[in-house]
Amino acid sequence: MNLVALLKEVKNKGITLYLNDGKLAFKAPAGAMDKALKSQIVALKVELVELLEKRENAETTQIEPIDRQPGDVLVTSFAQQRLWLLDKIDGGSTHYNIPEALKITGALKLDVVAKAFSSLVSRHESLRTYFVEDDDGQPVQKIQDPGMFDVVVIDFSSMSDEEQQAKVMKCVELDAAKPFDLSCDFMLRVQILKLSDVEHILLVTMHHIASDGWSRGILINEFIALYTAYSQGKENPLEPLPIQYADYAYWQHNWLQGEVLDKQLVYWEEQLVDLPIVHGLPLKSKRPLVQSFTGETYDLIINKQTNKNLNQFCQDNGATLFMGLHAVFSVLLARYSNEIDIVMGSPSANREQPEVASLIGFFMNNLVLRCDLSNNPSFIELIARSKRMLLDAYAHQQVPFEQIVEKLQPERSLSHSPLFQIMLVLQNNDEGTLEIPDIKLSQVQKSDIIAKYDVILNISEKEEGLLLSWEYNTDLFTTDTITGMGRHFEQLLEALLCTPEQDVFKAKMLGEAEYHQQLVTWNNTALSYPKDKCIHELFEAQVEKTPNAIAVVIEDKQLSYRELNQLSNQWAHYLIEQGVNNETLVGICIERSLELMVSVLAILKAGGAYVPLDPAYPKVRLDYMLQDTGLKHLLSRLDLITGLDVSDNVNVIEINPQMYQKKTQDYPATNLKQSDTKKTSDLAYVTYTSGPTGQAKGVMIEHKSLVNNLLSQVDYYSYEENASFIFYSSYCVDGALEEYLLPLIFGGKTVVFSQNKIFDLELFINTLVTQEITKANITPALLLAMKDQLCNIYHRSLLKTLVVGGEKLPTSLAKKLVDTGYEVVNSYGPTECTIDAVRYRYSETIKANTSIIGKAVVNHQLYIMDNNMGLIPIGSYGELYIGGDGLARGYLNNPELTQDRFVNNPYYEADSVNNSKYLYKTGDLVRYLADGNLEYVGRTDEQVKLRGFRIELGEIEHQLSEHEGVDSALVLTIENDIGNKQLIAYLKPELGHETDIDDVGLVPNIQQSLKQVIPDYMIPERFILMHEWPLTHDGKIDRSSLPKPDMSSHKAHYIEPSTATERALIEIWQQILKIETIGINDNFFDVGGNSIRAIKLMTKIDERYELRLPIRTLFELQTVTELAVHIDFLISQQKINIPDVDISADIQQEEVIW
C-alpha cells in the first residue's frame, strides 16, 4: 500500500494521525485501528512523519473561494504562467499534452460517456479555462461555459480489422500531436473511436496547464464514478468542490509575497549558488541548439528482495524510500559524469491544503535537488546528506519553480531546461482504478513519447519489486546508454546495500561482462617480440641482410647499412674508451646529419643512453637539461655549445663532418658483443618533455620498450625494405625515432632533411617527391599548411602513408587526404609510453567533428577510470591510464613525480600477460566508444568550463574551419584581468582569401554562421586573424607566439546604433526595459529582460515592422545588432515597405500605461 492509499483508508475510518513531540500518534474510533492497518502505518512511519512535519512547517493559510462573476478575468498561478510562456516561445506545441488512450470492451453507453465528461468539465473549471493577455502582456485566465464541451465520436465499425488498427493508431498519434490553442480551447479533449458495438477506443487528452499526475487519478476515478452512477440511472454522486483552481491561483498570489516569499527565496538562492548549468552525462552527439522532445522509454524491474532491503535500510537510517532512491541515483549520475555536484529535479504534489486535494489542476511544483558527493561519502553518510537536503527543500517547497528561475536568472537557452535537465519521480499518486461494472478497460500503447527533460527516471513500487521507467531524449542518448544506466542502477543499488559503510565511488557498478570487456577483451594485445634484443642489435641484424642498401641520405651524401654500422662500431669502441658503459648518459647536441645517426647508434652500442639536445632549442632549456642530467659526456661541436652552461667536468667530444671518421678510424669496425654492453632493461635514451608546471622532465626509456614499439610499427604498417622515411622533426621529440631509427631495423632508408629547412615547404614537398618518400610523420599544423600540395603530388610520388600526432587532426582534413588515397593514421601516446600507445587508421566513412584516436598498440593496455580509479561505463568520460611494455622507467632524478604519475594498477594480475603492475596516468580525458575505439576530449587539467558549460574547443575549431574562406582555426581560453575566462579564436584564411583579413565584415559573418550551429556560450568573444601560424621546432602551432588580445575587462559596452533598424529597436527596448542607455551589443536578458518582457518586445517589433516573428527569435538573437540584421534580412527578402513612423509619441504614451 502506498502513502496516498493509506491516507485514504485512514480518513475513511475516521482516524486522525498527528505528531506528539515529534512522534507519530493517532486518534481512532473503537475498532477502527486493526492490526493490518497498524502494520501498514508502521511500514510507512518515516513518510508519515515527514508529511506531518511538512504540514506543520508550512506557514500557509486556508484557501477561500473568491467573489467573482461569470466572464471575470482571473489571475493565473505561477505554474500556469510558465507553461503559457513556453507555449508562446514555442509558438504552440504539443510538448505539454497529456494524452491517454483506453481500449474499452463491453457494451459502452456513448451518451453516458458524454454526460460523465460534461459533468467533469462543469465540475472542474480548470478544464474549461482559457488564457489571454492583459494590457501589461501578462497572462490571465477566463472560464468558459461548460455547455460548449463536446465528445467526438468516430465510427470505424464498418472497416476490416486491419483498416481499423491503422485508423486507430493514426487517430491516437494525431490526437496526441494536436496542439491546444490556449487562447480559446477547452483544456480537455475527448474522442471515442467505435470499432464495434462492444469495442471502443477512448482518447482523452489534457493540457498540462490544467492538469498534473495527481489530477490524472482524480479524472479517472471521478469519470468511473459518474459513468457508473449515470448508467444505473442515478444522480451525480460526487460531493461539491469547496474551491476551484482559480481560487487557489488567487490565494497563491496573495499569500506568497513580501516576507513570506523573501524568506523562502533566500533558502533557494543559498542552496543553488554556483549551480551547474547543465549536467555532465555523456551525450551521443552535441546538444541541439533548440531543445527537442523526441523521446523513448525503457522499463526494468528490480527484484522484490532488493526493494525490501532498500526499504529496510532507509527505515533503519530514519529516511524515506525516496531519500534512498535519490542517493542511489545521485551516485549513478556522479559515476557516469565523473562529477560530484549532482543536480536533478523532482515533482512535489504541492497539495498540502486539504481544499485542493480533489481538484484537477496544475499544482505540481518542481523542486531542485542538489546532492553533494564531495569527500567520498559512504552510503550511510550520503543518505544522511540526502535527508537533510530534502527536508530543507520540502520546508521551502511553496516557492513556485518559476519564481526561483526568475530570481536566479540562469543562462537563457533554448537548448535545455533551466536549473535541471534530469528528473527523479517516485510514483505514489493514486493513478485511478480502471474498473467499470461489465466493462473491461486497458491502456493502448503509445507510439510517440514526449521527453520533457533529458532523462526522467520514474520509479514505482509494484508487487514484483521496483519498476524503473526511464524516459529519455533520443536526440541526446542512445538506447544502449539508457539500458546500461538501468542495469548499472540495479547493480549499484545492490552493492551500496551490501557495503553501506564503504566509499560510494568504490561500490561495484559494472557487471562481470563489462569488466571482462574492458580489462581482458579490449586489452588482449599480447604479441611476441624479441625481448632479449636491444634496438641496435635489430639494426645489426638488418645489416647482415642488406649490407649494401642505402641506410641514410642527406643531400649529396649517403651511407650504406654496412658503412653506417662500421662507423658507429668504431665510435662505440672510442666511447667505451672514454668511459661510457651501461646506462652512462651521453648528450648529443648537433643538427640532423649523418654524424647524428652515427652518434645515436654508437652510444647505444657502447651501452650508454643518449640524451638528445637539439641546438635549435632555447638556451635556457638546454642549460636546464645539461644541469638536470648531470652529463659527463657530450657529443657536439664547439660552435654549437658556445654560450651554454657546460660544466668543466663534462667530457666534450667534438664531432664534425671533417674529422668524425678520421678520429675513430683506428678502432675496430666490428660489432660489440652483447655481453660487453648492456641488457634490454637498460636505458636507451632520456628525452625531455614539458611538465605540468612548465619545467621539463627527463623521461627514461628502456631498450625493450623501444624495440616493442618500433617492431609493432613494422607489423602495423606492413613496411617493406624499399620504404623511405623523411627525417625532419627535432630529434628531441620521441616521434622522430620513427623517422631515423625505425627504417634501420627493417631495411628502409632515412632521408635527412637539412636543419633550418623545416619551414621551407616548397623544398619539403620537392624532397618528398624526388627522394621517393613513402611515409612521413607530419603534425596537423604542417598538414594544414601543405594539404593542397600533398593532394597534388599524390599521383606523381611514392608517398602513401601519413602518420599524424601531437595535436588534434581536423576530421575534414583527414577525410580530404583519405579521399585522395593516402593512408592516414592518428598516432597517440605520451612520451612516457614510448612514441605511441594508441593508433587509429582513418577510413572514408570518418564521422565529422570526432576525435577518435583508436585502440591500443600491441603489448599495451588501456584503462579509462574515474577520479577514484574505478572503471566507468562505455561512453562515459574518464582519465586514460596506460600500461604495458611501452611504459617508461620514470622521470630522471624526480622520484616524487614518478610516484605521482606512474601508479599501481588496481586491476593487476601477476599471471596475466595482458596487464602490468604500473600504469601511467596520462591526464587525458577520453571515453570508450561501443566498438572499443577511444575518443579524445582534452586534458583533465585543462577542462574548459565557461559560465557553467563544459566546452569542447575542438568543436568550435571545426565549425570555424567549415566557414567559407577559413583555412584553419585555433580556439584558446584566456583569462582577463579579473580572472574570468574568455574564448579567443585565431583564424587563418584560405589561399585566395587573404584579402578577407582586412574585411571588417568577415568576423560578423562568422559570428552569425556560428549561431546557426553552436550555442551562444561556445561563440568566441574575440577573433584574431592570422596571415600564417607560428610553428615550433616540432612543427606544432607555437601558442606562446600567438598575438595576445587585449584582455582588459573594462571595455566600451556602449556602441551607438548605426542603422535605422538598430535605432528603432533601441527605442523599443528603452520603452520596454525602462532604461535610457542601450548599446547595440547589449544582451536583452542581461539588461533586465525576462520572458514576459520578451513577449512585449516582440509584439512591439511585430507592430513596427508588420512581421510575425516567433518569441523564440529573441532567445536566439539576444542583442540589438543581431536582431537588426535578422529583420533587415527578412525585409530584403519580402520587400516589405516600412513606413517612416516616429514612435517617440507612442513611447511617451506607453510610459503612462505601463
Whether residue 622 lies inside any domain: the answer is no
- How far apart CA 314 and CA 659 sit, in angstroms, is 84
Which of 214, 249, 284 corresponds to the end of one domain?
249
CATH number at 103 reads: 3.30.559.10
pLDDT, tens digit (0-9, with 9 covering 90-100), for 1036-1066: 788 878 888 765 543 445 678 888 888 888 8
- 7 and 30 share one domain: yes
Strands (E), 818-905: 823-828, 838-841, 852-856, 860-865, 877-884, 890-891, 902-904
Count of other CB atoms within 10 angstroms of residue 186: 20
pLDDT given at position 498: 96
CA-nearest of 463, 413, 502 to 303 is 463
Residue 97 half-sphere exposure, CB side, CA atoms within 13 Å? Answer: 26
pTM: 0.80
Rounded Cα–Cα distance for residues 145 and 950 (Å): 51
User: Among candidates 768, 774, 725, 730, which has minimal Cα distance to 745?
Assistant: 725
Q: How many domains does the chain have?
A: 6
pLDDT in tens, 82-109: 889 888 877 777 888 989 888 999 989 9
Percent of the chain with pLDDT over 70: 90
Output the CA–CA distances (angstroms, integers) from residue 232 to 228, 229, 869, 1067, in the order listed. 6, 5, 68, 67
Which cell numbers in the block locate residue 250? 488567487
The CATH number assigned to the domain holding 1142 equals 1.10.1200.10
Distance in angstroms (rounded) separating the CA atoms of residues 753 and 1035: 14
- 985 & 925 share domain: no
Q: Indicate whether 361 and 494 sit together in one domain.
A: yes
Asked if residue 806 is part of any domain, the answer here is: no
Instruction: Please report the DSSP string for 505-570 in residue order.
Output: GGS--S-HHHHHIIIIITT-------TT--HHHHHHHHHHH-TTSEEEEETTEEEEHHHHHHHHHH
List the one residue out of 631, 624, 614 whose CA is nearest residue 691. Answer: 624
Q: Are residues 273 and 418 in the same domain?
A: yes
The answer to whether residues 1068 and 1016 belong to one domain is no
Q: What is the pLDDT of residue 948?
A: 52
Chain mean pLDDT for the chain: 86
Please list the ranges in the chain whose pLDDT falls under 50.
Answer: 692-693, 757-758, 997-998, 1000, 1049-1052, 1136-1154
Which DSSP state fits 50? H
Looking at the structure, tell me whether residues 287 and 379 fall in a common domain: yes
Q: Are residues 981 and 903 in the same domain?
A: no
pLDDT in tens, 192-225: 999 999 999 999 999 999 999 889 889 999 999 9
Do 1088 and 1010 fall into the same domain? no
Q: Verify that 236 and 267 share a domain, yes or no.
A: no
Domain assignment present for residue 740? The answer is: no
User: Within this chain, do residues 108 and 224 fall inside the same structural domain, yes or no?
Assistant: yes
Name the 3-class secondary structure at 883.
strand
CA torsion 654-658-662-668 (nearest 10°) is 70
| Residue after which a domain boundary falls, among 249, 279, 305 | 249
Does 456 lie in the same domain as 385?
yes
Full residue range of the structural domain in which residue 27 is found: 3-57
DSSP string, 918-942: EEEEEEEEEEE-TTS-EEEEEEGGG
Question: Which amino acid is it at 423?
Answer: M
Residue 256 contacts residue 354 (beta carbons within 8 Å): no
Is residue 217 in a domain? yes
pLDDT of residue 1139: 46
d(CA 1025, CA 1040): 16
CATH of residue 23: 1.10.10
CATH number of the domain that residue 280 is part of: 3.30.559.30
The grid cell for 746 is 627493417
CA distances 135 to 132, 188, 191, 573, 1096, Å, are: 10, 27, 36, 98, 10
Is 938 found in the same domain as 950? no
Domain end residue (candidates: 979, 1013, 1041) = 1041
